[in-house]
Amino acid sequence: MREEFSRGRRYPEPRHPYRSEFARDRDRIIHARAFRRLEAKTQVFTTRYSDHFRNRLTHTLEVTQIARTVSTALGLNSELAEALALVHDIGHPPFGHAGERKLDQLMRAHGAGFNHNLHALRIVEQFEHRYLEFTGLNLTFEVREGIIKHSRDYDASSFPQLAEYLLDLRPPLESQLIDWVDEIAYNTADLDDAREAELLDLGLLSAAVPLFGDAYDRVNRAYPAAKKKLKFSEALKNVLNALASDLIETTAARAGEASVATVDEIRRHPQRLAGLSEPIAAQNARLKQFLVKHIYTHPFITEDRDHSVSCLERLFHLFLGKRDSMPPDHEQQALTVPRHVVVCDYIAGMTDQFLLKQYRDHFAAPPETSSWHG
């Protein structure tokens, strides 16, 4: 995606003397309040037992590193890929995907819903206030498009509010890559955090996921006397390299087979071109299945998650039913916007700690769970 072919910004601005348009988008995202809040939002593991676990911000930085590497190797616009990676999780509510599912469930009772990508678009278009001449960050069309389309396509009849984003076309390759590098980042990082939490059965993982098992066997043969922790890290590095390399090679091969040479041809191609080869995709699926079965459903994870989500739900009902329970600006907004929308936006913008503090303030005492430690 060449900068000179960008569809531009919603509000025209003079060009910057020494930064490209996509570099400016990257910088605006990094300086956004919503980006800073990612530091205090859960990825998978809370900090109850360790300060070394990923949070939503450190995960985002890891996704960005992989996205820049992959896009550079493919000869794509790495500044656009970097901006898209930095913004891809900016719409996440507290408590990860569990918080997102709960907000969606609560909003469906009002004929609406919650999607973190659509919420991210509203953040960069409406909620961030940093500039005198416009509301939002005034990002380029390609970054705004990538926020909603990097992981899925949308039907124009079901999402008329997104009509400007070329819903009948594919996004550029820089955008298509983001969902894959996101998956590569969290699949490998969640294994690393699971080992840190002492939840990982190495033998079970090696048997269930040959991509890891074979990598570990090679490392173990080469360094039999090395510490187990270091052998694990080396094997995990090899898994990440294998996934990223396959993404590069498969995407390049598919683009070549499709004979696409321009962004417009990529947009008009019937399918997305970025992806993994069938053998590696199967291995990656086994890794995801292992994480779901043995990590994400572990009591260590679910105890904190379930209590935290119950706090979110109680606060939603409190704010919905009690006038003047939210800050004055939100209460003022609720006079003209449906109250359930304002409540959802307010909660979605909270960090984990702020939501739990709100719960303590409104309900006097926390639930009896160690998730409140620290």
Can you spell out the DSSP letters for 41-106?
Answer: SBSSS-SSS-S-S-BHHHHHHHHHHHHHHHHHHTT--HHHHHHHHHHTTTT--TTHHHHHHHHHHH
Comparing C-alpha atoms, which of 299, 362, 298, 350 is closest to residue 103? Answer: 350
46 versus 288: which is more confidently predicted? 288
**pTM for the full model?**
0.92
| pLDDT at position 369 over 60 | no
Q: What is the mean pLDDT of the chain?
A: 93
Mean pLDDT of 306-334: 95
CATH 1.10.357.10 fits domain 3-300: no
The separation between CA 222 and the C-alpha centre of its own chain, rounded to angstroms, equals 36
3-state helix, strand, coil in the chain (%, to 5): 65, 0, 35
Q: Model confidence over 40-85: pLDDT tens digits?
A: 988 887 766 667 788 999 999 999 999 999 999 999 999 999 999 9
Mean pLDDT of 353-362: 94
In b/e form, how buried is each residue of 304-335, taking b as 16+ CB within 10 angstroms? bbebbbebbbebbebbbeeeebbeeebeebbe
Domain boundaries, the chain: 3-300, 301-372
pLDDT of residue 374: 28
Least confident range from 22-31, 90-99, 322-331, 364-373: namely 364-373
Comparing C-alpha atoms, which of 189, 246, 227, 195 is closest to residue 74? Answer: 246
Report CA Rg, the chain. Answer: 22
Q: How confident is the model at residue 271 (pLDDT cuts 50, 70, 90)?
A: very high
